[in-house]
Amino acid sequence: MTRRDKILYFLQLHRTGLSICLLAALLLVFPVWAGNPYLLGISNLIAVYLIAVIGLNLFIGYAGQISLGHAAYLGLGAYGSALLTVNFELNPWLAMVVVAFGVALASFLVAIPTLRLKGHYLAMATLGFNIVCYTVMMQWDQVTGGPSGLAGIPSLAVAGIPVDDEIRFHYLVWTIAVIVLTLGLNLVRSSLGLALAAVAQNESAAESLGIQVSRAKIRVFVLSAVLASLAGSLFAHCFTFINPDSFTIFNSIEMVTMVVIGGLGSIWGSLFGTALIVLLPEFLHFFDTFRDIIHGLIVVTVLILLPQGLVSGLRDLVRVRSLMKRKHAPN
């Protein structure tokens, strides 16, 4: 084996770890390169949504299920942390943990009846849950503040140091996002990930192999809801203000769009899909009125040209072209 072959083998063997290290290095220097609180704010929003989208991708891309109501769990996390810290003066980190357990219990109770449904019926059930949560957030103004929202949410603090500016929050939220990304990459290679892949392909065949289909689907649904709750709590403590308009059914559909564009079943695709959809309004702010139409056109275009999603589709395209070049290369 030549030196070049050894290097390629090493890169192939450790590509996941090296990719994570490269991403971490880029994020470490990003605040210096950006030098702009506005750009950092957008980057932080990408990180927050990425945490939720990874969980949603596990549910949609790996388990083969559908959810059009994940913004509800994002909202429960945000409002739960906000209310516990503002009204009861609970430590924000403790509030996040308490809310995550509460969301886990709520999602478990929701999962038991809804995951018996399939296809459009499951989509409508999750959509209905989102509508119920949004209505409560909007109408229960004595608690949630109604359309006016909640303000004065305290910032997080690490070792007594308040995370009260964009740079500090950048390092905090991206550290959490990279950890979630790493856990997601490892989970899909675990026994649970393989079980979910089998369930997505054929539930009857998965059952014949001894996989408890209902338990697997409930576990990944609860996990995705908890990640959405974590993202919602970070969202609340980052921007210190929330209102129901951030947790509508359109936000749920937007999160599904992030999953589809990045690639169903691609954890790395979740990062690129999230970044694209969050950044898109910044480039198309003149067409903000037609944002949903543009999102729809992008989804249709990706599904037609790259049905595997951006990451997997472009990777396969590069592989095909590389093989074609080798095939036609002179001996």
pLDDT per position as a tens digit, 189-235: 888 788 888 877 777 888 887 888 888 889 999 999 999 999 999 99
Question: Quick one: pLDDT at residue 59?
Answer: 92
Question: Quick one: pLDDT at residue 181?
Answer: 95
DSSP 37-100: HHHHHHHHHHHHHHHHHHHHHIIIIIT----S-HHHHHHHHHHHHHHHHHHS---HHHHHHHHH
Angle, CA of 57, 61 and 63, to the nearest 5° = 105
Q: Does residue 306 surpass a pLDDT of 70?
A: no
User: What is the Cα–Cα distance from 121 to 118, expressed in whole angstroms?
Assistant: 6
How far CA 293 is from CA of 57, 247, 288, 296, 299, in Å, comes to 23, 19, 10, 5, 10
Backbone φ and ψ for 113, nearest 5 degrees, come out as -85, -40
User: What is the Cα–Cα distance from 96 to 84, expressed in whole angstroms?
Assistant: 9
| Residue 138 or residue 325, greater confidence | 138
In the predicted model, what is the mean pLDDT of residues 164-186?
Answer: 93
Q: Does residue 18 surpass a pLDDT of 60?
A: yes
In the predicted model, what is the mean pLDDT of residues 177-188?
Answer: 92
Nearest to 214 by CA among 227, 228, 195, 229: 195
Radius of gyration of the chain (CA): 21
Q: Does residue 287 surpass a pLDDT of 70?
A: no
Question: Quick one: pLDDT at residue 117?
Answer: 85
pLDDT per position as a tens digit, 94-145: 999 999 999 999 999 999 998 888 878 888 999 999 999 999 999 998 989 9
Question: Quick one: pLDDT at residue 331?
Answer: 53
Nearest to 71 by CA among 146, 11, 130, 140: 130
User: What is the Cα–Cα distance from 130 to 256, expressed in whole angstroms?
Assistant: 14
Kindly indicate the confidence band of residue 308, based on its pLDDT and cuts at 50, 70 and 90.
Answer: low
How confident is the prediction for the chain on average, in pLDDT?
85
φ/ψ bin of 202: left (φ > 0), alpha (ψ from -120 to 50), beta (otherwise): beta
Residues 6+ apart with CB under 8 A from 138: 144, 146, 147, 244
Residue 171 DSSP SS3? helix
Beta strand 161-163 pairing with 241-242: unpaired
User: What is the Cα–Cα distance from 63 to 103, expressed in whole angstroms?
Assistant: 20
Q: Model-level pTM?
A: 0.90
Kindly indicate the confidence band of residue 303, based on its pLDDT and cuts at 50, 70 and 90.
Answer: low
Contact predicate 266/184, CB 8 Å? no
Question: Quick one: pLDDT at residue 183?
Answer: 93
Kindly indicate the confidence band of residue 280, based on its pLDDT and cuts at 50, 70 and 90.
Answer: confident
Nearest to 38 by CA among 254, 282, 245: 282
pLDDT per position as a tens digit, 33-90: 887 888 899 999 999 999 999 999 999 888 888 888 999 999 999 999 999 999 998 9
Question: Quick one: pLDDT at residue 19?
Answer: 85
Question: Quick one: pLDDT at residue 322?
Answer: 65
- Return the bridge partners of 161, or none: 158
Nearest to 123 by CA among 26, 11, 256: 256
